Structure 1
Amino acid sequence: MLEHHIGLLSVAIAGLINLWLSWRCGAARGKAKVLHGDGGDTALQRHMRAHANFTEYTPIALLMILVLDYSDQNPWLLAITAAVFLAGRVLHAVGMQADKPSIPRMVGMLTTLVPYLIWIVWVVLVVFQVV
């Protein structure tokens, strides 16, 4: 079996999510007939913000996933937390389109931040050879 498959698969899935978010921005931009910026269009602003939020959290998350994967850590825990994180990023993006606070957005942020915190602690524990 391919080594480091969790990290590599996480990168591929994140790439697909990023492509989807980019496509949504482009479609909203075309619908609003806005070439640059957001043109004051609320839907486009939300799509752009969802895409930006993804790009704010995901690079460091992928780095932590890859570091833990290359450190031969528990593959099940890593796979589950990576899946939760990536699903959360999709939920958050979908929830960003609501006019008011939404369940998908809140669950999306929770399922982003919990794995993120787990990985931070886990990486520190690896550094100090506790795990």
Structure 2
Amino acid sequence: MNLITSGHAAALWTGLHLFLLLTLSLLVVRQRQRHKVAFGDDGIPELAQAIRAFGNATEYVPAGLIAIGVLAMVEAPPLAVHLAGLVLFSGRVMHAIGLSQSGGASFPRAIGVTLTWISYVFAGVALLFFAIA
């Protein structure tokens, strides 16, 4: 009997991604309070980087979580859900670290984008497989 289901795996990765988004949001709030900026970035690089780290995550995470949720709905093996979730989460964390350290190109950002795209490709292929299998 399999004790860990695809739904449990999806719940884990959804929860972790929600806490990642909350953390990135809190980093924006902290920068806003520190620099006393209520709207925009006021030309402050640290604030702009925090805003983009959060914004970029909000651009990529929802589609990834939808894919993870649908994988669970079609009863993909929990390992497939965990793999998609782990690679997406790792990519988003790496990207956020890279963007928080520098507004320009960086190794962590490049790894983060690559892992995110790998997760998207893996989940997309898995979803198509389960759609036609």
* Unmatched 5+ stretches in structure 2: none
Which amino acid is 2:82 matched to? A
Change (3 A) 1:99 1:62: closer
1:114 matches 2:118: yes
1:18 matches 2:24: no
Shift of 1:2: 5.9
Change (3 A) 1:50 1:99: closer
* Distance in 2 separating the partners of 1:114 and 1:99: 23
Residue matched to 1:7: 10
* Unmatched 5+ stretches in structure 1: none
Shift of 1:35: 1.1
Structure 1 residues 15-69: Cα deviation after superposition (integer angstroms, max 9, x where no partner) = 1001100011011111111011111111111110110110111111101101111
Match of 1:103 among 85, 104, 107: 107
Higher relative contact order (CA 8 A, sep 6+): 2
* Distance in 2 separating the partners of 1:115 and 1:26: 29
Which amino acid is 1:35 matched to? A
Residue matched to 1:33: 36
- Give the RMSD, CA atoms, in angstroms: 1.3
Q: How does 1:84-103 map to 2 (within 5 A)?
A: 84-97=87-100, 98-103=102-107
With the length of structure 2 as denominator, give the TM-score of the two structures: 0.90
Change (3 A) 1:81 1:2: closer
SS at match of 2:37: coil
Aligned residues: 129
Which amino acid is 1:8 matched to? A
* Distance in 2 separating the partners of 1:66 and 1:78: 8
4+ runs deviating over 2 angstroms: none
Q: How does 1:47-126 map to 2 (within 5 A)?
A: 47-97=50-100, 98-126=102-130
Q: Percent identity between the aligned chains?
A: 29
SS at match of 2:110: helix
